[in-house]
Chain A
Amino acid sequence: MLKLEVRPQPSKWMSLASPLLALALTVVLGLGLFVLLGKDPLRGLQMFFWEPIKSAYAWSELGIKATPLVLIALGLAVCFRSNVWNIGAEGQFIVGALAGGWVAMQATPETGRGIVVLILLAGVAGGAAWAALTALLRDRFNANEILVSLMLVYVADLLLGYLVYGPWKDPQGYNFPQTISFLASTKIPRLFEGWRVNIGVLIALGAVAGFWLLLFRTYAGFALQVGGLAPAAARYAGFSSRRALWTALLLSGGMAGLAGALEAAGPLGQLTPHVPAGYGFAAIIVAFVGRLHPVGIVFSAILMSMFYIGGELAQSRLGLPKSITGVFQGLLLFTLLACDTLIHYRLRLGKPSQA
């Protein structure tokens, strides 16, 4: 019989091994899933784990998906480490895209490339403002930030719908619910000719370094995390819990908004009802699989992007439903939560010891 035994100290090694073990379990379960669906399991795995990384072009596509995930997950990592449960990054992403899109729509043929900076700043401001609603309600009325931030996702979604079906609809768009295509000057500059990957990747990598510095090398980052780990110790030290709440929410909202603006003025090039692609929710998984660590988040975002691309390929080439992507993401999160048990416990074979 298997028995769980408390470890004397949480295992450092296991906290690194747990995501790998979870990935392995996800692969095994995925194999079973493909067999049950009557598909060739090896071809299924190939779609998810080989096709997305087999060429430089594939990596460019991977980068497009991973960039928003990294940006959003970095902000969420700060939130979660501060014990602030922002579940509404998706809504902040949408409002960031709306704000960035609005700036992009103001461009005229004479506008210079500098407008890209304004678009991104507008995105940050939009996302942060949306998150500020949650912070305000939490601070002022002690409303639960999980519920408020989550419900605001749907409000943001409706706001997007209202704008693209209404005032922002392209007059020459044959009544499709979409804005005008943004002018070329507003496009996020691409890194290489012919590939879609853009400077968002560089911004994301810079943000990784910035957040690492914030979390592990600044007093402010330390204060935030103490508030999350031990509120009484934070009070004792004199770290304000209100400041932590606002900082965490504004930061993560700003990051989600930045991702939204990059998406709107990047791969999308216009606003449609399909702006929200689930990045805001997937980033929650990315943040946890990456151990709420900026470097870990890079790896988990790449993995999650592989699932996105693999899901699309499985759809077009194997005829599997689109929801397979969500199934894989969910499998990964659940196996990770299960494997994390092994950080604090170890498995013992045999009868419960009398020791």
Chain B
Amino acid sequence: MTLRLELSGISKQYPAVKANDDIALRVEPGQIHAVLGENGAGKSTLMKIIYGAVQPDAGRIRWNGQELVIKSPAQARALGISMVYQHFSLFDTLSAAENVWLGLDKSLSLAEVKARIREVAASYGLDVDPERPVHSLSVGERQRVEIVRALLTKPQLLILDEPTSVLTPQAVERLFMILRQLSSEGCAILYISHKLDEIRALCHHCTVLRGGRVTGEVDPRTQSNAELSRLMIGAEPPQLRHAARAQGPLALELRSLSLAKASAFGTDLQDIALSLHAGEIVGVAGVSGNGQQELMAALSGEDPRAPAGSVRLFGADIARAGARRRRRLGLHFVPEERLGRGAVPTLSLAQNTLLTRTEAVKAGGLLSMAQVRRQAAELIQRFGVKAGGPDAAAKSLSGGNLQKFIVGREIAAQPKVLIIAQPTWGVDVGAAAQIRGELLKLREAGCALLVVSEELDELFEISDRLVVMAKGRLSPSLPVADATVERIGIWMSGLWDAPAPEAGQNKNTMKESAGAQA
């Protein structure tokens, strides 16, 4: 049988790093082919080469048996290759439909494109409003636009880069059904992920990358998580210890917090109630765009419009306090966007330390630059941040390293309450384990933590209790021991008032798989 795609000897050298080193990849028609690897293993570069966005230094590409050079994404699309990038390539000022339209040939009118989007979105269960401008969409919603865009072209090879991170478990199942259907129609799929369970459940074949080289080719259906993990990172990630702990005193309390959305396409927060105690981690699950951003802003003080009395920190009303006052009272926050919010891209790490830390601000508002640099150097050392030093610009760091720096900056401030959004988004397995370990240590030290994450495994792994956000409302909390993936998945649709399903035999699926992964 002719291979749909065959790569051999593909190499790509970047100024600082060899991203791909003599890589071979063989994809059959209709095959769902996983490309597994940590961040920085070279997966994204390889996919960009296949998609024509990057030219390799060496190596050959065969498409349906024909050797060719893919010069541009336009050519790749003409060949029948579609890609959903991990980092979205959407124009903020255009609507979802206009963005999709840009990637298509120009035979369709915008109205037709909108109709097709609605059609495809409906048939695949992807909730996309073609009229909305992209800048008003959450990260998860943007990804859905990307997926719809790729599916519209009826591709022969579909490349998906970490597609499930923003979907509910049920939606992941639906996506898998779609992918299996596409596969049975003969469309080959390259599925890039570091989620071992998903790869084992979905993929026929798996190529593992590490440090730019192929370290294994296996049938994932016959492998355990531990075996795949070893191929991927060369070692097993450290085990996390989640010791039982008595609930401490009340730290943060939300009482009937309702807040009208600040932008036209935001989400109204409705009557949110939550108690967060010292020494516990409460996980907030939910599909992005359901009010998490608005809730975070109301808690961090970036949006100080909450009704008086609705947010209390150790009994004090902070609903209308600014971010700096809340920080002085011991409430720290790590936002989901690292560049531009958690850190200023063009400023050095030392200067970025000053965003939330004021130890180096002396009398009269003068700064001790020596102390700022020392502080940054300590963070770099303590949290193992790979950076050129305190003077390195924030944007010169990889996503994972910058995340370690930002999380470290807030942890080192010894907060009494830490609110953290997407703690390990785009962070490699080793660093993610390290960050989760630090969060657990903070919990041991008596800090109250509220963790918002779209990775359910992560929430199950570190949380004491779970709450779910849907449509601007917050569910009651559930001890993690009583939670199941199915139940949380149903809650993600806002249905926590419905009776719980019989979930006895599935009860601990996630715990077990998380354990196997570790």
B367 near A237: Cβ-Cβ < 8 Å: no
**B87 on the A face (CB < 8 A):** no
Per the CB 8 Å criterion, the residue count for chain B at the interface is 38
**B358 on the A face (CB < 8 A):** yes
The residues in B between 156 and 195 inclusive whose CB is less than 8 angstroms from any CB of A are none
A217 to B323, CA, bound (A): 22
Task: Tell me the minimal C-beta distance from B435 to chain A in angstroms.
Answer: 19
The residues in A between 203 and 229 inclusive whose CB is less than 8 angstroms from any CB of B are 217-220, 222, 226, 229
In-complex Cβ contact of B345 among A230, A237, A238 (8 A): A230
Minimum CB distance partner of B57 in chain A = A355
Minimum CB distance partner of A235 in chain B = B302
Task: Tell me the minimal C-beta distance from A237 to chain B in angstroms.
Answer: 4
Residues of B within 8 A of A20 (CB): none
Task: Tell me the minimal C-beta distance from A19 to chain B in angstroms.
Answer: 19
A236 near B327: Cβ-Cβ < 8 Å: no
In-complex Cβ contact of B340 among A219, A230, A238, A354 (8 A): A230
Identify the stretch in B37-45, B114-122, B128-136, B347-355 within 8 Å (CB) of chain A at 4 or more residues.
Answer: B347-355
A217 near B345: Cβ-Cβ < 8 Å: no
B344 near A233: Cβ-Cβ < 8 Å: yes
| Given A219-B367, A222-B351, A233-B355; A238-B324 close (CB under 8 Å) | yes
The residues in B between 335 and 350 inclusive whose CB is less than 8 angstroms from any CB of A are 335, 337, 340-347
| Given A8-B15, A355-B57; A232-B358 close (CB under 8 Å) | no
Residues of B within 8 A of A9 (CB): 393, 396
**B504 on the A face (CB < 8 A):** no
Contact with A along B230-250 (1 / 0, CB 8 A): 000000000000000000000
Task: Tell me the minimal C-beta distance from A280 to chain B in angstroms.
Answer: 28
The residues in B between 281 and 337 inclusive whose CB is less than 8 angstroms from any CB of A are 300-302, 322-327, 333, 335, 337
B300 near A219: Cβ-Cβ < 8 Å: no
Task: Tell me the minimal C-beta distance from A241 to chain B in angstroms.
Answer: 11
A220 near B335: Cβ-Cβ < 8 Å: no
Residues of A within 8 A of B333 (CB): 236
**B64 on the A face (CB < 8 A):** no
A233 near B342: Cβ-Cβ < 8 Å: yes
Residues of B within 8 A of A355 (CB): 13, 55, 57
Task: Tell me the minimal C-beta distance from B449 to chain A in angstroms.
Answer: 18
Contact with B along A41-80 (1 / 0, CB 8 A): 0000000000000000000000000000000000000000
Task: Tell me the minimal C-beta distance from A298 to chain B in angstroms.
Answer: 22
The residues in A between 1 and 56 inclusive whose CB is less than 8 angstroms from any CB of B are 8-9
Minimum CB distance partner of A222 in chain B = B354
B369 near A217: Cβ-Cβ < 8 Å: yes
- Name the residue in A226, A230, A232, A235 with the highest tally of chain B Cβ atoms < 10 Å from its Cβ: A230
Known: A226-B355, A236-B356, A240-B322. 9 other contacts (CB 8 A): A218-B367, A226-B344, A230-B341, A233-B341, A236-B300, A236-B333, A236-B335, A236-B342, A238-B324
Residues of B within 8 A of A8 (CB): 15-16
Task: Tell me the minimal C-beta distance from B16 to chain A in angstroms.
Answer: 7
Task: Tell me the minimal C-beta distance from B18 to chain A in angstroms.
Answer: 13
A354 near B55: Cβ-Cβ < 8 Å: yes
**B365 on the A face (CB < 8 A):** yes
**B201 on the A face (CB < 8 A):** no
B347 near A232: Cβ-Cβ < 8 Å: no
Q: Which B residues have a C-beta under 8 Å from some C-beta of A?
A: 13, 15-16, 55, 57, 300-302, 322-327, 333, 335, 337, 340-347, 351, 354-356, 358, 361, 364-367, 369, 393, 396
B393 near A238: Cβ-Cβ < 8 Å: no
Residues of A within 8 A of B300 (CB): 236
Residues of A within 8 A of B354 (CB): 219, 222
Residues of B within 8 A of A354 (CB): 55, 57
In-complex Cβ contact of B323 among A226, A230, A235 (8 A): A235
A230 to B340, CA, bound (A): 5
Task: Tell me the minimal C-beta distance from B391 to chain A in angstroms.
Answer: 11
Residues of B within 8 A of A220 (CB): 365
Residues of A within 8 A of B327 (CB): 238
- Name the residue in A220, A222, A226 with the highest tally of chain B Cβ atoms < 10 Å from its Cβ: A222
A236 near B367: Cβ-Cβ < 8 Å: no
Residues of A within 8 A of B15 (CB): 8
A257 to B323, CA, bound (A): 35
Minimum CB distance partner of B13 in chain A = A355
A219 near B361: Cβ-Cβ < 8 Å: yes
Residues of B within 8 A of A226 (CB): 344, 347, 355
The 10 closest A-B pairs by CB, nearest first: A238-B323, A238-B324, A232-B341, A237-B355, A230-B344, A219-B365, A219-B361, A235-B302, A8-B15, A233-B344
Minimum CB distance partner of B388 in chain A = A9
A62 to B57, CA, bound (A): 56
Minimum CB distance partner of A217 in chain B = B367
In-complex Cβ contact of B302 among A219, A229, A236 (8 A): A236
A237 near B347: Cβ-Cβ < 8 Å: no
A217 near B366: Cβ-Cβ < 8 Å: yes
Minimum CB distance partner of A226 in chain B = B344
Task: Tell me the minimal C-beta distance from B258 to chain A in angstroms.
Answer: 21
Minimum CB distance partner of B339 in chain A = A230
| Given A218-B367, A219-B354; A237-B361 close (CB under 8 Å) | no
Minimum CB distance partner of A214 in chain B = B365
A340 to B15, CA, bound (A): 22
Minimum CB distance partner of A9 in chain B = B396
Task: Tell me the minimal C-beta distance from A81 to chain B in angstroms.
Answer: 11
B342 near A238: Cβ-Cβ < 8 Å: no
B358 near A238: Cβ-Cβ < 8 Å: no
- Name the residue in A219, A229, A232, A233 with the highest tally of chain B Cβ atoms < 10 Å from its Cβ: A233
